[in-house]
Structure 1
């Protein structure tokens, strides 16, 4: 991931209302993020609107697919309808094998029972108006995709979903899943206004493109403002202009290639793997060059810890 926010460290923020007789409100992430949700209302509260957010394992439904098509047309201005198979491949199918989450005491009803791929559904008066696609992993909640109905665009539902995903990581941590500490927000593109909102959450970190350590975003910003390519741990390697020619395809030792594994199939909940060099993709020159560049970028140690999904090559 290029950009990540620390979910469990999202601290309370105090905001004060001006004027006589108005109380000071201290923002508490998990409490305030649920304040508008129907299932969290206390007895006697009557909401003006029935808003609900629910979490469920990733799946295909006609309702979700209709939202996806609407989002692609109204927000991304794509003229043709998408196919259900594309939705399933993009937002449902994955290589994650569900695994039970070990809560030390009884699991709260709103928290997931297993690690895996999920859909966070946002409904108003029962109608699906937005959906977040997330992976819940042993140490983080990872944002994959978010879509919404254009009618509600002015309410910045994407920012709401980021706060709710951070709250989810915190709630799981507070429920005893102590390794759950982070929210990964995906790619951060400093020159793209639609991406820069991710830097509004604090504390946030970016991963260094060369040694994969995390650097505070505030430290990274001056380098991103100055350089076309920025290296945070070794600023002297940063480039002010694009490279004039691509790097040659790297050559890697046979031992590295033999130990790099890819998914062959998932059978009865078990992931069957094999060396990348034995895959059909390896026989195609363009795919092989992509794999060599990827393995070289990850480095020998990390390449042997990852299981690669080659289905999109």
Structure 2
């Protein structure tokens, strides 16, 4: 199944297994329905019943796919152990609403065809759907899960769909992920996701410039995510180190830092680089913060 493509230079840790039906059937010891949803809820507290229970049926394959992806990223990030299953409540199923329309015979409610139409119209592309689409894309293209997820989640939903619909690569692993990074650079315009940077000093004008997380605009979040992916940094530690800086300092680091290392070693080098800049000054800025404080 393509294993002959692996060479000695491919040293990245393996990602989630290819999500075949046989493999997914074994996830969570073959549990289905409510019990499988409770297993998913242990590691993904944002899971919503409505995303996995449709037309009176549990979407077991979707739950297993999401479980595999989320659990893989929890392990990579060193997440703490999930709560015990006994603490996870039984999910409450949505009420099946009966519909009566003029000309529709009373009895058991709507016909199956009408029920499907109404249910389909009510379905939304929530976070679980986005996550599942990314999981399938990463698995199908044999990408490095950690880097690929960071790059994809930095895009707007529209840009992400364009990338996932158009990207193909004959490579696998880190090399395929490098191809994805290059594809995004060539096909996604900077600022295409309304990524406008907030004015310096937090002056937000009329407040409509951009949606921000903390003091970061969408544009800064995207730039930070691409920087982490490009330098193969540990996402959690690198983000923590960068978020402590001002916007100007963060931009200086992103523009000037590079490392021949990867993972934790590269992230340690980033932390040391930032510490040095705080002492001697950030490239491109007039003077170090310590001197400004004395003025």
Q: State which structure, 1 or 2, has the greater radius of gyration over its C-alpha atoms.
A: 2
Q: 1 or 2, which has the higher strand percentage?
A: 1
Give the TM-score of the pair, scaled to structure 1: 0.25
Larger % of helix: which? 2
